[in-house]
Amino acid sequence: MKFLLTMVLVTIMFVPLFSQHLENGNDTLSIATPPKVLHAEPLYIDLIRDLGARKGEKEWNIGMGMTDRLRFDSYEFLIEYEWAPIDRLGLEVELPVTIFAPTAYGANGSGSSSDQPIKPSNRIESLKIASQYTFFVSERLGTSLALGAITEFEFTDLNIIRNNKPFQGILYNPFFVAAKKWKNNLHTLIYTGPNIRTHFDSKNIDLSYEFNTNFHYMIPGTRNFVGVEFNKHLAERNFDMVIRPQMRLGISEDLMIGIVPGIPVSKEKERLSVFLRLIYEPGHHKRTKTNQ
């Protein structure tokens, strides 16, 4: 716990000081109107506020998804709130919930129990808090770099929470983000970092690593885009990747919707999935006019 808290404090307190040595000339943060590059950001593994976020920005997200996990389906629901208390610093609070339901295959009991997963209990996944600081922004280069940290306090399953402690573990994920906007409206982004999970009962620590690459094309004059997200996960010498084609459509000035199907490379643990994200940015139209 001391190690996790130390990492969070280092991310929030010392990255802004480090960034001052990286920026110079046209890339230096302006006190009046700090530069910000409009990047196409992934819809499934989303960021903690926009890269180069400006003070006062805020966003509500509601997510819904379904995944075919062989003998059962999982239904995901989440609500999250993101805001920027100061320039370039984004904070987030999220509450995800997962509900499981048996499929016709699982209900009939076909297949051997030894090679098929058992349906887990419904659960509030975790209380997720996160921070992200964009330490480098270059409008000239169309590039943004950021460091961040996600801490998830994982809840106990709903069916046993009355007889147990409310939390069963903690997951810590420090991450690095590099994004580039190209002149032909193409956008690339890398999101990578380790996952460190601690189990309170057993005191065991699980280590894994994720490396996500993203490619998008943004429609000129809009925030709409189409693209693909490659979510790669490595744990105990097992490699998994899910390909997620996606598009984001603007419904109004401050409301957007993201549609994300999922195609796993290996179908040992899951088959196809779909995820929808509703994005509401109150005051976005007003901020855009002010910046112009």
Q: Are strands 72-86 and 89-102 parallel, antiparallel or unpaired?
A: antiparallel
pLDDT at 19: 41
E-strand ranges in 33-125 read 58-69, 72-86, 89-102, 123-124
C-beta separation of 246 from 258 below 8 A: yes
pLDDT tens, the chain, 292 aa long: 444 444 444 444 434 433 433 343 333 333 467 899 999 999 999 999 999 999 999 999 999 999 998 889 999 999 999 999 999 999 999 999 999 888 765 555 444 444 555 777 888 889 999 999 999 999 999 999 999 999 999 988 766 655 567 788 999 999 999 999 998 999 999 999 999 999 887 778 999 999 999 999 999 999 999 999 999 999 988 899 999 999 999 999 899 999 999 999 988 888 899 999 999 999 765 665 545 4
3-state secondary structure of 4: helix
Q: What are the angstrom distances between the C-alpha of 123 and each of 92, 119, 155?
A: 21, 12, 7
pLDDT at 5: 44
pLDDT at 268: 80
C-beta separation of 256 from 279 below 8 A: yes
Specify the residue for token string 């805020």: 58
Spatial distance between the Cα atoms of 87 and 157, rounded to a whole number of angstroms:
38
Spatial distance between the Cα atoms of 226 and 131, rounded to a whole number of angstroms:
27
Q: What are the angstrom distances between the C-alpha of 29 and each of 19, 105, 138, 149, 214?
A: 10, 57, 9, 22, 26
Spans of all domains in the chain: 2-198+259-291
pLDDT at 87: 96
List alpha helices for 68-134, DSSP H: 104-108
